[in-house]
Amino acid sequence: MTAPLPPDEQIDVPDSETTAKQASRAYLERLAHASAKELPPEELARDYRRALMQKRPNLRLAQKILARLLDPDDQYGYLKGVKYKAATWKRDRAHLAADLVQDTAEEIIRALPTDRGAYAEENWRRFTFHCYVKCWRKRFGKKGQRLMEAADPPEEAESFDEFVTQETSPVNLWEVELPPQKLEEMKRVVREAVEPIQDDFLRTVGLKLLFDDPPTVTALADELGVGRRKIYHALDKVRAKVFVALRRTRNLHGCDDEWLQDWLNQ
C-alpha cells in the first residue's frame, strides 16, 4: 500500500471518489512513468476534467496532467496525429505547422472543461482532430478562403509564385519503376480510389493531377479559380486516400511500401 502524501505535498482533490486515487503518490508516479498504453489519453482527459470540475478545482493536479497530455517531447504520442497533420503544411513555412500545433493545444485546454471536452474521455484522437479543424478554420477560414494570404512563401523563395513555378508537378506517381502491365494495374487502382470521391473539388484535383499529362498546380489553380495552396491542401487528402488503396492492393501491382510512403510524404 502506498503511503499517502505528507500534508504539504498533498494534492487537494476533495471529490471523495477520486481523492483516493488522485491524491496518492502512486497516481503521480503513474503519471510520470506509465507508458502510453498503460495510461491512455482518454483516462488522462477524464482525470483532468475531474480535477477541474469540482467545487474547488485542483489546478496543480490539472497542470501536471496537462503537462503529460500535451507533452512537448511527445514521448507518449498523444498529439502525434495533430503534429503529423500540421507538418503537411511545412512545405509552405515550417513555423506555420508549429503555429497550428500550438493553436490546437490551446484549443484543447479551452475545450477540455466544457461539454465538448467530454468527447476527449471517449476518443482523444477524434477530439484532437476536432480541435485541430477548429483552429485550421479560424486561421484559414471555414472554406479555406484565407489560404492564400495566411501563409507566406518559404524563405528561400522570393515569392510564392517563384516557389510554385519551381515545381512542375507535385505528384510524379508514374515515375515508379514497374513493368507496363503492373503499371496499368496500378493506374486502375488509383482511378478506382479517386473516381468515387464524393467531394467534387477533391475528385477534380485528383483526376487532373494524378493521371497522364497533369497540369502544373499553377495552371490547375487558374483553371479552377482558386489559390494554389488550396490545390495542395486538397491533393494531400486525395493522396492519402490513394495511398491507402495502393497499399492495400500492393500484391497486385507490386509497388513497394517504402516507395509509396515516400510518395505520400513528398
Partner 1 sequence: MSTYEHNDPKLLGQLLERIEAAWKAGRSDSVVDELAARHPAYAAELYDYLHFLVVEEFGTGPSEQEREDLSRRMRTWLDSEAPRLIRASLTRPSDDGSPSNAGDSGPSAPSEYLSFCDMLRKVTRLRPSRFAEALNADLSFIDDIDCYPDRVPQRAKAKIIELSSSRLGLDSDLAWQTLRGTVYSKAAKRDDDYDRPPPTYREMIEHSRMSPEQKQFWSSFIDE
- Calpha distance 79→125 (Å, rounded): 8
- Calpha distance 82→216 (Å, rounded): 29
Options 162, 248, 252, 256; binder of partner 1; rule CB under 8 A: 248
Please work out, in degrees rounded to the nearest 5, the angle formed at the alpha carbon of residue 172 by the alpha carbons of 166 and 174: 160
Neighbour-count burial of 216, counting CB atoms closer than 10 A to its CB (0-12 exposed, 13-18 middle, 19+ buried): middle
**Minimum gap (Å) between residue 199 Cβ and partner 1:** 4
Options 13, 39, 62, 173; binder of partner 1; rule CB under 8 A: 62
The CA R_g of the chain, rounded to the nearest whole Å, is 23
Compose the 84-103 pattern: x for residues touching partner 1 by CB under 8 A, - for all others: xx-xx-x---x--xx--xx-
**Hey, what's the cell of 173?**
506517381
Q: Which is nearer to partner 1, 24 or 50 (CB)?
A: 50
Options 3, 8, 16, 142; binder of partner 1; rule CB under 8 A: 142
**Minimum gap (Å) between residue 67 Cβ and partner 1:** 7
Q: Which is nearer to partner 1, 21 or 126 (CB)?
A: 126
Binding to partner 1, residues 151-180 (CB under 8 A): none
Options 25, 30, 139, 237; binder of partner 1; rule CB under 8 A: 237
Whether the CB-CB separation of 93 and 152 falls below 8 Å is answered with: yes
Options 9, 80, 161, 188; binder of partner 1; rule CB under 8 A: 80
Q: Is 144 in the site for partner 1 (CB under 8 A)?
A: yes
Binding to partner 1, residues 177-216 (CB under 8 A): 193, 196-202
Options 46, 83, 208, 253; binder of partner 1; rule CB under 8 A: 83
- Calpha distance 133→179 (Å, rounded): 41
Please work out, in degrees rounded to the nearest 5, the angle formed at the alpha carbon of residue 135 by the alpha carbons of 59 and 156: 115
Whether the CB-CB separation of 239 and 246 falls below 8 Å is answered with: no
Q: Which is nearer to partner 1, 184 or 192 (CB)?
A: 192
Options 27, 78, 132, 232; binder of partner 1; rule CB under 8 A: 132
Q: Which is nearer to partner 1, 125 or 191 (CB)?
A: 125
Whether the CB-CB separation of 170 and 246 falls below 8 Å is answered with: no
CA-to-CA dists, residue 106 to 70, 78, 135, 205, 245, angstroms: 10, 15, 9, 33, 35
Please identify, among the stretches 26-34, 65-73, 168-176, 215-223, the one whose residues bind partner 1 according to the rule CB under 8 A.
65-73
- Calpha distance 105→131 (Å, rounded): 8
**Minimum gap (Å) between residue 1 Cβ and partner 1:** 28
